[in-house]
Structure 1
Amino acid sequence: MNTSKYNKIAEQLKPPKQVGKHCLSAFIYGGIIGAIGQGILDFYMMIFDVNEKEATPMMIITIVLIAAILTGLGVYDRIGKKAGAGTFIPITGFSNSMTSSALEAKSEGLVTGIGANMFKLGGTVITFGIVASFVLGGIRYVFSFIW
């Protein structure tokens, strides 16, 4: 069987894409995660009697911790199968990626396994964030003179 014939048959047997369903699912689950974050933020503002600026880092740390624990328990992956891109909200997705990398390498040891593999991913994300911030900050700075 030649390649073009195989590709034709494979294309016919491929299940149809459910883009609308996936978009709706990502929107709903992402919204739920965002609402949980807002609830935690409001809770910290009320309990500790602080403003939003002071409560935000506490909320972010809590969300990262919850995502890491759920990843370690295998729950985050099950949620991710249903939610799709909805679980890629930057803070929870990053926590999930870091924790997954650490769990995969735990047999290699604490430093050479967990530490090296976890920060291999983290280093790229942080570097990209810093470079993007620098570029966008430069663009904003230049345009501040124009307007």
Structure 2
Amino acid sequence: MNKQINDKNEYKNNVKSYQPKPPYLANCLKAFIVGGFICAIGQVISNFYIYFFNFTEQTAGNPTVATLILFAALLTGMGVYDKIGQFAGAGSAVPVTGFANSITSAALEHKSEGVVLGIATNLFKLAGAVIVFGVVAAYIVGMVRLLFEKLL
């Protein structure tokens, strides 16, 4: 048994020397640039709603997020957002557009199974967990805040 473990460790050490080193700095830079660009687009959309529709900075947030989600869903449907995701990694996955991409991708992947059994049942597989944990986290934060307000 000991020989087998030593052989596995030798193999891992031998393979390590042949594996390419991941370009961490380049990946971080790409994620930063693409994520920042998505945020800049969001700011342009927000300014558009403020300037043309007389929203305030606070009230422009919801339609801005909805517009970003719509754009990301359309780009996912056209196959463009997946290419952006392959290039940028987390830079495209972390903003709300990544969430829209995950929902739309699940729906597109299962569309051949029909509207109800394909799209509707698989649409929120990933998003459902995110929504549940978001609601639970918001509840916990709200209760902690209420507790601190009562104590102070």
Letter in 2 for 1:59: T
Say if 2:15 is the partner of 1:15. Answer: no
Partner residue, 2:109: 104
Extract unaligned runs of 5+ from structure 2.
none
Q: Which of 83, 93, 96 lines up with 1:91 in the alignment?
A: 96
Letter in 2 for 1:139: V
* 1:1-147 matches, cutoff 5 A: 2-147=7-152
d(CA) in 2 for partners of 1:121, 1:4: 36
Contact 2:35 2:95 in 1 (8 A): no
Q: Secondary structure of the residue that 1:51 maps to in structure 2?
A: coil
d(CA) in 1 for partners of 2:141, 2:24: 31
d(CA) in 2 for partners of 1:120, 1:77: 19
TM-score w.r.t. the length of structure 2 is 0.88
- Larger Rg computed on CA atoms: 2
d(CA) in 1 for partners of 2:145, 2:27: 35
Q: Relative to 1, partners in 2 of residues 1:144 and 1:17: Cα closer, same or farther, differing over 3 Å? A: farther
**Greater CA deviation, 54-63 or 91-100?**
54-63
Q: How many residues align?
A: 147
Shift of 1:86: 0.5
d(CA) in 2 for partners of 1:136, 1:13: 48
Q: Percent identity, aligned pairs only?
A: 47
Shift of 1:145: 4.1
Extract unaligned runs of 5+ from structure 1.
none
Q: Relative to 1, partners in 2 of residues 1:23 and 1:143: Cα closer, same or farther, differing over 3 Å? A: farther
Cα-Cα RMSD: 1.7
Letter in 1 for 2:62: P
Shift of 1:146: 4.8
Contact 2:65 2:96 in 1 (8 A): yes
Give the structure with the larger helix fraction: 1
Shift of 1:92: 0.6
TM-score w.r.t. the length of structure 1 is 0.91
